[in-house]
Amino acid sequence: MSPHLAQRLAGLFPEHLASLIRRTQTALEAGGFGALLLGSGHSVDHFRDDHGPPFKSHATFNAWVPVTGAPGSYVHFRPGDRPMLVFPIADDFWHRPAAPPSDYWTPHFDIRIVNSPEAARAALPRSLADTAFIGAPFAALASWGVAAVNPAALLLQLDHDRAVKSDYELECLREANRIAARGHRAAERCFRAGGAELDIELAFLGACRQREQELPYNPIIAVNEAGSTLHYQLLTREPAHRSRSLLIDAGASFEAYGSDITRTYSAADTDFATLIGAMDRLQLALCAALKPGLDWRDFHLDAVARIAALLTDSGIVKGTPEHCVQSGLAKVFFPHGIGHLLGLQVHDAGGTLGSPSGDQIERPADHPLLRLTRRLEGGFVVTVEPGIYFIDPLLERTRGTPQGQYIDWHRVEQLRPFGGIRIEDDLAITKSGSENLTRPAFAALDPG
Ligand code: GLY
Ligand code: MN
Ligand code: MN
């Protein structure tokens, strides 16, 4: 981290912590708890093996401290007291022990270094009888005497409140975008040089200087037809005979916050490239509509209508855009939601919570996959990710139906080898509109 960024974070962290303390205090009072204990989580081994998948710390813990690689850590908070971080540094000659944390955020915590799980418990207050625990449960927790483990109402309230980001969190998300933009540029170069999907991923990781396990999610790197698989996860080791297109959905992490960015490229100046340009303009028009008060369900339906217009304008679907929406054809080409909350988790918590008490805001009847149904508020961070895909199973299911006659199958055959298009940016809702966190990160890499 540059000294300049560290200084900015040092300036922003106190207000972030203060707002977290205010929210937590309200939530604890509502739940009748005196204190909160957050666990980072524990490492687990694979079945019948002596090592396991990479450790991922729990988001609610990371809202307090950007400590991502320390299983068996705890944050304890009692209103009125300085929050405590219990941080394990084991006597271990197999692994290099972590260094005691020392950073812009550490002066705000009472940090206790411990060398065993027993010492972690001993470092915490003797009685946890009025304390709610949030985190992945573990065997010894039963003897810790906490008042409740993951009480639902408390979780819902904290999840609900987490949607509004502090200035510190926004800065972390901006940086996660800056890091990922470097990765995306390197990935594009690798694609244009004819790299295989694995080479493209390695180029992304190298430019981000992050290990795959550190990323907010496994990148989706799809050359040619593979772009039609929404969460494509295979990485071909051999370059394609002819690389026509790349859909890359990849984000980077910073201080436990993640970016979530998709770009689509065409190798040549084809019809597909024209469609990418049109999708890029459509995406920007959608971004321009973001503002506080906007109901995300309406926004999704607006996006579907615009995508239907693109499908009919470009001759993929015949008939009117209205028919394309009403008949369900638009969903054949765009079967996912227009976006979601983003933060400590790539699909951040609380997207359908209507109030701190946990009421659910229903998804529109025809759009059961929508991950966000709330009205936007200043401080929300969302993705906007329209797309058009040529998905074999959805197309084949439609071919024999009356609606299939409205698809220009010749046009579909021309475009199918390119897979699909998605353009995805991350945006912070401001007082009157939005701030795109992604586009300036790319623009800053452009010469001159
Ligand atoms: N990368 C997963 C998503 O865009 O939601
Ligand atoms: Mn994505
Ligand atoms: Mn996304």
Show pLDDT as tens, one digit a residue, over the chain (448 residues). 899 999 999 999 999 999 999 999 999 999 999 999 999 999 999 999 999 999 999 999 999 999 999 999 999 999 999 999 999 999 888 888 888 999 999 999 999 999 999 999 999 999 999 999 999 999 999 999 999 999 999 999 999 999 999 999 999 999 999 999 999 999 999 999 999 999 999 999 999 999 999 999 999 999 999 999 999 999 999 999 999 999 999 999 999 999 999 999 999 999 999 999 999 999 999 999 999 999 999 999 999 999 999 999 999 999 999 999 999 999 999 999 999 999 999 999 999 999 999 899 999 888 888 999 999 999 999 999 999 999 999 999 999 999 999 999 999 999 999 999 999 999 999 999 999 999 999 999 988 7
Q: Separation of 134 CA from ligand 3 center, angstroms? A: 26
| Count of Cβ atoms closer than 10 Å to residue 37 Cβ | 26
Per-residue model confidence (pLDDT) at position 447? 83
Q: Hey, which bits of 287-342 come out as E strands?
A: none
Q: How far apart are CA 5 and CA 402, in angstroms?
A: 58
Alpha carbon 183 to its chain's center: 16
| Count of Cβ atoms closer than 10 Å to residue 214 Cβ | 17
Q: How far apart are CA 111 and CA 69, in angstroms?
A: 16
Q: Does residue 77 contact residue 24 with C-beta atoms inside 8 Å?
A: yes
By three-state DSSP, how is residue 419 classified?
coil
Strand 110-114 to 84-88 pairing? parallel
- Testing ligand 1's pocket by substitution, the residue of 204, 229, 262, 425 carrying the most ligand atoms inside 8 A of its CB is 262
Q: How far apart are CA 276 and CA 439, in angstroms?
A: 16
Q: Separation of 160 CA from ligand 2 center, angstroms? A: 22
Report field, pTM of the whole predicted structure over 0.75 = yes
| CB-based neighbours (< 5 A) of ligand 3, an ion | 260, 383
Q: Separation of 217 CA from ligand 2 center, angstroms? A: 9
Using CB distances shorter than 6 Å, the residues near ligand 1 are 217, 249, 260, 346, 385, 424
Closest ligand 1 atom, CA of 340?
5
